Chains A and B, each alone.
Chain A
Amino acid sequence: MILSIQNVVKTYGNYTAVDHVSFDVQKGSVFGLLGPNGAGKTSLIRMITTITGPDSGAIFLDGEKLNERSPEKIGYMPEERGLYKKMKVGEQLLYLAQLKGLSKAAAQKEIDHWLTKFDIKDWWSKKIEDLSKGMQQKIQFIATIVHKPRLLILDEPFTGLDPINTNLIKDEIRQLNEAGISIIFSTHRMEQVEEMCDHIALINHGKNVLYGEVQSIKNQYKQNLYRVEWQGDLPADFGQHFSITQQENHAVTVKLHDEGESNKMLSHLIQKGVRITHFEEILPTFNEIFIRTVEGERHTVSN
């Protein structure tokens, strides 16, 4: 376990930003930290990155309670990010790496490695303000990982990147993950969550409302919806046996009572001589899960 959040509370004045949140992040995991705006994600991340401390509860990094050495093991790319505009790329990276506890020589070596890898070695003495936004993001990414963190926290890492650079950074994230670095990934982009994360926690109103493995959450939220496509005619009594939620030409979406019913439906169709060309279970997207959970919360709150 790389990170363990245990019953953490954070208040600002009368406002409770994080309300008894607990979850664990396994080593090597890509963990999605989700939630609507103002849910308490940033407050939580700021506590993990030791920017602030919890009022109560505890946070453990790699089995150790957070301490002044912890920042060296964490790489954090905040949503509100930036660099010193007047500083040169090389100086900037050296400075940030040294603040993360690297010696000057080690920092120099790592920076050379990354600049070479991204094929931007000649940027060393360029000023940040002379770089395009996308180029700055690359430097920002290098600054985040240059000290070889054990845990990488990325808050909306792809905003401001074009598709090519997005893929480049995505690949780097995957490679880092394969090399054993655990990643916490905070985003509103649910398709990215499905693409990249294996576990998630959904924070709403400061509380952890949904937490677990991505696949099992999807299963937990599934509504036994199935989609069938065929050639020829559908038996006339099909609608009497099964409840159709959506009908198209040669395709229907059916809601079944349980998982076992899918085979019953298939054999029913086969017996009637329908030639099935396509059959799948429709799992909810994370977008739907997100909206349902957050909206549901709102209902229970307002009721």
Chain B
Amino acid sequence: MSKLSLIIKREYLTRVTKKSFIIGTLLAPLGLLVYMLVIVGLTKYESGSEIKVAVLDEGGMVKQIPDDKGVRFIPSGGKNLEQLKAEVSEKKLDGVLQIPPLGSFQKKEHTIFFYSDAKLAPEKSNVIERKIAKKIREYKIDSLGLDPSKLEMLDTEIAIDPEKITGTGEDDSKYTAGVGLAIGGIMAFIMFFMVTMYGAMVMRSVMEEKTNRIVEVMMSSVRPFELMLGKIIGAGAVGLTQVLAWIILSGAVFLIVPFFVGGVDPAQMQAPVAVGDAPQIDPEQMEGEAFRFMTEIGKQNWPLIIFSFIIFFLGGYFIYSSLFAAIGSAMGDDMGEGQSLTLPVMIPIILAFYITAFAGMRNPDSGLMVFASLFPLFSPIVMPFRMAFNPPMWQIILSLVLVVAAAFFFVWLAGRIYRVGILLYGKKVTFKEIGKWMFYRG
């Protein structure tokens, strides 16, 4: 076995067999499972508790209101406000809703009163407001003698469908942006997560060897470059193992959850988020949306996306973890002093993330995005995002070439820093010195 593969094997096995790794790998999907069960439980709980509200309709505007989402509307039945309040005190009712007459139709706002000692939950408050507003609208239509069917004709939903003037028959729809955001977002997140978590792991492991004083023993057997590269590859393999385990286990969680809760209604899952005044999406329309979404996903050039994602992923990982390795080699025994050294490595990652999040969402083809998707320190995060929006092929190829070249360059550069830093003890290191190390002879 070659020395490099021996090092990779050790780096991989010692980490994968660690208790903390096994626990972390198993616990994260378990946490997801618990989280989902809690969410489902909460939505069920909320809809379970019902309140009874008496409606004192002083203006005679609302008539009977159908019950909705845990609110039962009870007509006042001739009782006055004081009588109803008394019933609330006797716990026969949860509250009294007093609706004063509207007065003028010009009024855009109308205040109604809710009498209760208990606090009205925001969800219930929303339901009541929406119901009353709808009833008053109907009352206004009726009083003004308008034709409801004609009024409905006024509403038109507008959807922009982008059509290319030149190019192939493949045509973007309004879903392209959504799918692009989803794919790009996921890829950017995985990149960010892997680079920061496993890059930092490489850094810690380099520091550990230095503080353990084993590094000089190792250096007399292997070249510093081999040790550094073995570490980077080993930690990367650990990261891939963990991500893969998470994907498989999370898939299992998504399959298991319905068994626990006896089937989850997706509309119900969204309930806490969608309370506001969002119009209810009718199921048929939703199916249509899902279908169009799926076709859009199918329309993506998946072989190209997957191929380039792997390249960007490896490129980004090698660039950043080698920088972290170099920083780790320069650090002393004191972890604290390293913070100032890691910051310059973190800044480009965070910048790339921000560029994607702000500039990318607004216009994925802006000048800044084109630059960021070519610049190798940003491109592993930015380009996968842009790829969902069909950038010119030459930019994809150029970006891939640049990221691979940069990966080789940074691994080489880090190796030059590492070989000096790793053997240097008891000295606080500045960036100026690190710069000098690059030019030392072997």
Contact = CB atoms under 8 A, between A and B. Distances in A.
Interface string A50-61: 111101000000
Given A71-B220, A74-B220, A85 B440 contact: no
A93 B136 CA distance: 84
B6 A86 contact: no
- Sort chain B's interface into a size bin: 20 to 34
11 contacts: A46-B219, A51-B423, A71-B220, A81-B217, A82-B212, A82-B217, A83-B217, A84-B14, A84-B214, A96-B221, A143-B217
Given A83-B212, A83-B214, A49 B220 contact: yes
B3 interface: yes
Given A51-B224, A82-B213, A84-B14, 18 more contacts: A13-B440, A50-B220, A52-B442, A71-B222, A76-B216, A76-B217, A77-B217, A80-B216, A81-B213, A82-B217, A83-B214, A83-B217, A84-B214, A95-B6, A95-B10, A96-B221, A99-B7, A100-B221
A98 interface: yes
A110 to B, nearest CB: 15
Contacts of A80: 213, 216, 425
A143 B213 CA distance: 14
Given A46-B423, A87-B14, A99 B216 contact: no
A257 to B, nearest CB: 50
Interface of A: 12-13, 46, 49-53, 55, 71, 74, 76-78, 80-87, 95-96, 98-100, 140, 143
B413 to A, nearest CB: 18
A78 B222 contact: no
Contacts of B216: 51, 76, 78, 80-81
B230 to A, nearest CB: 10
Contacts, number: 65
Contacts of A81: 213-214, 216-217
Interface in B215-269: 216-222, 224
Nearest to A68: B223
B347 interface: no
B1 interface: yes
Contacts of B423: 46, 51
Contact of A78 (B1, B217, B440, B442): B217
Contacts of A99: 3, 6-7, 218, 221-222
Interface in B413-442: 419, 423, 425, 436, 440-442
Contacts of B221: 71, 96, 99-100
Contacts of A78: 213, 216-217, 220
Interface in B195-226: 212-214, 216-222, 224
Nearest to A46: B423
Contacts of A77: 217
Nearest to A12: B440
A34 to B, nearest CB: 20
A50 B216 CA distance: 11
A15 B304 CA distance: 53
B218 to A, nearest CB: 7
Nearest to A49: B220
B212 A84 contact: yes
A130 B220 CA distance: 26
B217 A96 contact: yes
B220 A86 contact: no
Nearest first, the 10 closest Cβ-Cβ pairs linking A and B are A82-B213, A78-B216, A76-B220, A99-B221, A49-B220, A82-B212, A82-B214, A51-B219, A80-B213, A53-B442
A271 B82 CA distance: 143
Nearest to A97: B221
B332 to A, nearest CB: 13
Contacts of B217: 76-78, 81-83, 96, 140, 143
A53 B442 CA distance: 6
A261 B425 CA distance: 54
Interface in B1-37: 1, 3, 6-7, 10, 14
Contacts of A83: 212, 214, 217
Contacts of A87: 14
A98 B2 CA distance: 9
A99 B10 CA distance: 11
Given A55-B441, A143-B217, A98 B436 contact: no
B211 to A, nearest CB: 8
A100 B221 CA distance: 6
Given A82-B212, A87-B14, A53 B3 contact: no
Contacts of A53: 441-442
B220 A51 contact: yes
